[in-house]
Amino acid sequence: MKIRIIAIYAFVIVASVAMIVFFKKVADRVPETPVASNVGREEVDTYFPITADLEMTRQDGESVKLSDLKGKVTVLAQFFAVCPKCAVRNGGDLLELYKTFGDDEDFQLLCISVDPETDGVEELAAYAETLGADASNWWFARTGDQAEVHRFLEEELKFFRIAERTDPIDIASNGRYAHDLDLLLVDRDLNVVDKYPLADAASEEGRKLDPTRYDREKHELYERIRKELGDE
């Protein structure tokens, strides 16, 4: 049984890397401006402020803090390196954002690991290298304490609760943690201005419920980023 579980884990890791490479190729062929309808949500100026700081280590081993991103327009997501859902459901969207806005020195992507016990600097660096992420404007980051980062993500950033799976087969298929796949948009003053459920909207169930929601959500995210960067 133990050998079988190890083999399943190895397969998941290889499959995740393959999916990341696939989405990287797909993102390279995606046009800069997303297709969308004219229907949008009611915009608010500020969703909520981030009042606490978080110390992290990014993929190049540098110690950083969330407050270091003040003055940047940041898209923030949760992930962990062997999570197949992160690669499949968020990989393409994050790569497209990086392709579209990555040349702007005021734009930042930040992916925070929910599994720092497994995601060391080497794992973060390998993940970032696969995606072609430069440590200067796309951070893959971990904290030294798992309970601390879970509390911060749930209480400070208002992500949904992170749940640890216990069944070995379920873990091998879906990853150790069930976590929120939404993207947060953070303005230059470290206010979360909105939350975008692109992964859910793009899922098979999401498209059945509302075939146009994904395009609307993505359009609104891109337009709000441009507004925060002053490109409008």
pLDDT at site 35: 37
pLDDT at site 140: 94
Query: Pick from 73, 70, 68, 49: which is nearest to 57 by CA?
Result: 68
Per-residue model confidence as pLDDT tens digits over 20-49? 444 444 444 433 433 333 344 445 556 899
Per-residue model confidence as pLDDT tens digits over 217-229? 999 999 999 999 9
Mean pLDDT of 158-183: 77
Is residue 171 within 8 Å of residue 142, measured between CB atoms? no
Hey, how many other C-beta atoms are within 10 angstroms of the C-beta on 211? 10
How far is the C-alpha of 139 from the C-alpha of 128, rounded, in Å?
8
DSSP category for residue 231: -
Query: Pick from 183, 61, 71: which is nearest to 120 by CA?
Result: 61
Is residue 162 within 8 Å of residue 175, measured between CB atoms? no
Task: Name residue 224's amino acid.
Answer: R
Mean pLDDT of 89-97: 83
Q: Considering Cα of 162, then 178, then 144, then 117, what sign does the dihedral take?
A: positive
Q: Which domains does the chain have, with CATH numbers?
A: 2-229 (3.40.30.10)
pLDDT at site 232: 62
The model's pTM = 0.77
Query: Pick from 16, 185, 172, 175: which is nearest to 87 by CA?
Result: 16
Beta bridge partners of 56: 64
